[in-house]
Structure 1
Amino acid sequence: MGKYFILALCCLALFSCSDGDLQIETIDFDSVSLQYCSAPVATTKNILFKINGDEALILELQSGVLNKGVVGDTIVTQSTISSQSQVTYRIFNDDVDNSYFCDDIPTVDPVVLEEVEAEDGLVIIETYADTDGTNFVHNISLSGVSFVTGSGERITNLTISDFGEVTTAIP
């Protein structure tokens, strides 16, 4: 009887261990600088990203969303996440740098441990002309972003009031 009890305890211990799922507690990129591989262009899709150690928040802006400026006015444009623009959160097995996103041949390391795409939210872009009138300045923020992980964990109401600032030439 004692053998069966010990066997049952071993089986219970074996099957009750964590299955290694990642737990995302917070997504915080407020104090991290915005980066991109090539200067944003007003008429095409633009990939912007923030790196925080072994995490990255990637924003793919819809084509033309930065082409909404009017000299002399401040214009506020919104882009809906998942149907127009895309926000992706990645966790890596080691620290990542911009070469991961910018190299012509993608690097093998670090490895993506988890990738979660936002299902909802808004990209808000405030556009105005710079002081000398040669460029548009675009202040980008995210609001109401909602992620759902592969295990069904929902991370909602993510607000990054200052995702970053980019400039584009006034056409």
Structure 2
Amino acid sequence: MGKYFFLVLCSLALFACSDGDLQIETIDFDSVSLQYCTAPVTTSKNILFKINDNEALILELQSGVLNKGVVGDTIVTESTVSSQSQVTYRIFSDDVSKNYFCDDIPTVDPVVIDEVEAEDGLVIIETYADTDGANFVHNISLSGISFVTGSGERITNLNISAFGEVTTAIP
């Protein structure tokens, strides 16, 4: 009888394993550099991203949000996620490079395993003129970003105080 009990217990242990659902425990891009394919402009949407091995955090800034500078002042602009700007988190099957986002013909590998779009939060942009007055410097941070995975898992209040810095020419 003990043998059968042990066999049933082992069988249950095998079938009780995860069904392969991906669980996102943390999203950490604080120490990763900001990248983009083309230099940000003030008149259209801008795609900025951070890559951390097989993960990417993608920010699509609303059109015109970088055109809020005033020479001599520091201006803070907010863009609401998901109605104005988009933040997307992706997990890939292998390490991903800038080429994945920038090549004219998208690569087949690595494959996107999971993608989650933020449902709430703010993109905060602090804009000021650089020391020679030729460019605006835009310091971008994320606050209160809230993701909900396909399985209903909520990852909330993601804050990245220094998402990155971009410059645009003063018009």
1:35 aligns with 2:35: yes
Once the two structures are TM-superposed, the CA of residue 43 in structure 1 deviates from its matched residue by 0.9
TM-score by length of 2: 0.93
1:52 and 2:58 correspond: no
**Structure 1 unaligned blocks of 5 or more:** none
Which residue does the alignment assign to 1:20?
20
Where does residue 75 of structure 2 map in the other structure? 75
Q: Offset at 1:123?
A: 0.1
Q: Using the alignment, how far apart are the partners of 2:46 and 2:53 within structure 1?
A: 22
CA distance in structure 1 between the aligned counterparts of 2:95 and 2:79, rounded to whole angstroms: 30
Q: Where does residue 155 of structure 2 map in the other structure? A: 155
CA displacement, residues 146-170 of structure 1 (integer Å, 9 cap, x when unaligned): 0001111110110000000000011
Give the whole-Å Cα distance in 1 for the aligned partners of 2:106 and 2:23: 27
CA deviation after TM superposition for structure 1 residue 10, in Å:
7.6
For 1:113, the equivalent position in structure 2 comes to: 113
The one-letter amino acid paired with 1:54 is N
RMSD (Å) for aligned C-alpha atoms: 1.8
- Separation in structure 2 between the aligned mates of residue 120 and residue 75 of structure 1, nearest angstrom: 23
| Matching of residue 128 in structure 1 with residue 128 in structure 2 | yes
**Structure 1 residue identity aligned to 2:163:** F
Deviation sequence 1:119-168 (CA, Å, 0-9, x none): 00000000001111111000000000000011111101100000000000
Partner SS for 2:161: strand
Q: How many residues align?
A: 171
User: 5+ residue gaps in structure 2?
Assistant: none
Matching residue's letter, 2:68: K
Distance 1:12 1:6 in 2: 10
**What is the CA–CA distance in structure 2 between the aligned matches of 1:6 and 1:144, rounded to whole Å?**
49
Tell me the alpha carbon deviations over residues 101-134 of structure 1, each in whole angstroms, 9 at most, x when there is no partner: 0000000000011000000000000000111111
Counterpart for residue 168 of structure 2: 168
**SS of alignment partner, residue 99 of structure 1:** helix
SS at match of 1:107: coil
Query: Which AA in structure 1 matches 2:40?
Result: P
AA matched with 1:166: V
Is the counterpart of residue 101 in structure 1 residue 67 in structure 2? no
Segment of structure 1 superposing worse, 113-122 or 7-16: 7-16
